[in-house]
């Protein structure tokens, strides 16, 4: 498996593949890979000649310096894992200065309102950071397909919008959320939780499922109230938001009109910020 840390040698390799009309899938990650990431990688392997996996903890998308400093990282383990999956994987794991050409800062974007609520509201500049790095990677890699997880649904919608706005010639493939047996959405941040906190964290998925079960019998206000009261019984959980929003424009709703809604949640569990969502149809 080829692992690149610098842009020119990666670009050289990609040019060779493209000259030979190879189809390339791209899976951007921040590493500490788990089965959620691997589901994206495996989907890409099954649909492309080669899969480029980027492993890069993007500094500009962290609005909290401690969160960046404590973000888990285990590149050796990640490489070993990817090596065991397929020879058709290429890894790109640059230093921040390499990817940002020594100028680590945010670009400005118009997200057409998709960043107004939820993560966009609670994590200032987070999506500008995500869009900055994804734009750099899209421009560099020029993949045919890019794989994004529904676990980060708002991010996925923002990247779909970015592809249209910036006319990137890549097709985004949505990949469903992979969970552990008890329902907890897999996340690199789960590594920061101990066994009992992980168990408590399953209440976020339970809250989303409660909304899914009751959406036709209770009002959205009632659902929100019950969920927030219920979660407040756990001293380890600090709810940041629970929102039901339109799947397309991500606007929070109070009354059901069309069918395509999702329930979204963000909460700190034992000090670790987790997000999750489910579709309600």
Q: Name the one range near ligand AMP by CB under 6 A: 10-18, 97-105, 144-152, 212-220.
A: 144-152
Tell me which of 10, 14, 38, 40 binds ligand AMP, using CB under 6 A: 40
By the 10 Å C-beta count (0-12 exposed, 13-18 middle, 19+ buried), 119 is classed as buried
Catalytic status, residue 37? yes
Asked if 149 interacts with ligand AMP (CB under 6 A), we say: yes
Q: Is 177 in the site for ligand AMP (CB under 6 A)?
A: yes
Residue of 27, 51, 50 lying closest to 40 (CA atoms): 27
Task: Give buried/exposed letters for 227-238 (b at 16+ CB in 10 A, else e).
Answer: beeebeeeebbe
Stretch that binds ligand AMP, among 93-101, 117-125, 173-181, 195-203 (CB under 6 A): 173-181
| 187 touching ligand AMP, by CB under 6 A | yes
Taking CB under 6 A as the rule, does residue 60 contact ligand AMP? no
For 258, residues 6+ apart whose C-beta sits below 8 A from its C-beta are: 246
Q: Kindly state the smallest distance separating residue 222's Cβ from ligand AMP, in Å.
A: 29
Which of 102, 94, 90, 111 lies closest to 45 in space, CA to CA? 90
From 3, 173, 178, 215, residue interacting with ligand AMP (rule: CB under 6 A): 178
Residue 134 in contact with ligand AMP, rule: CB under 6 A: no
What separation in angstroms does the CA of 68 have from each of 56, 62, 65, 71, 224? 12, 6, 5, 5, 31
Contacts with ligand AMP: how many residues (CB under 6 A)? Answer: 17
- Residues classed as catalytic: 37
Binding site for ligand AMP (CB under 6 A): 29-30, 36-37, 39-40, 148-149, 151-152, 175, 177-178, 185-188
């Amino acid at each position: 498996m080829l692992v690149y840390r610098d842009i020119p040698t990666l670009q050289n390799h990609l040019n060779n593949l493209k000259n030979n009309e190879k189809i390339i899938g791209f899976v951007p990650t921040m590493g500490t890979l788990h089965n959620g990431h691997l589901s994206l990688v495996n989907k890409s392997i099954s649909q492309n000649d080669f899969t480029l996996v980027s492993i890069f903890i993007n500094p500009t998308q962290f609005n909290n310096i401690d969160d960046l400093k404590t973000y888990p990282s285990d590149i050796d383990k990640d490489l070993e894992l990817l090596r065991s999956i397929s020879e058709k994987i290429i890894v790109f794991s640059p230093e921040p200065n390499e990817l940002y050409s020594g100028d680590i800062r945010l670009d400005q974007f118009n997200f057409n309102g998709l960043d107004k609520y939820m993560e966009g509201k609670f994590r200032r500049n987070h999506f500008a950071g995500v869009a900055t790095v994804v734009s750099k990677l899209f421009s560099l890699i020029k993949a045919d397909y890019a794989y994004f997880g529904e676990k980060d649904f708002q991010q996925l919608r923002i990247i779909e919008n970015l592809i249209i706005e910036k006319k990137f010639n890549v097709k985004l493939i949505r990949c469903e959320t992979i969970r552990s047996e008890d329902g907890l959405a897999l996340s690199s941040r789960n590594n920061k939780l101990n066994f009992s906190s992980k168990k408590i964290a399953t209440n976020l998925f339970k809250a989303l499922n409660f909304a899914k079960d009751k959406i036709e019998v209770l009002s959205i206000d009632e659902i929100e109230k019950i969920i927030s009261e219920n979660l407040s019984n756990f001293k380890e959980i600090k709810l940041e938001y629970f929102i039901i929003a339109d799947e397309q424009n991500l606007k929070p709703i109070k009354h059901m009109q069309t069918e395509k809604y999702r329930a979204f949640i963000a909460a700190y569990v034992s000090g670790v910020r987790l997000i999750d969502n489910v579709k309600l149809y």
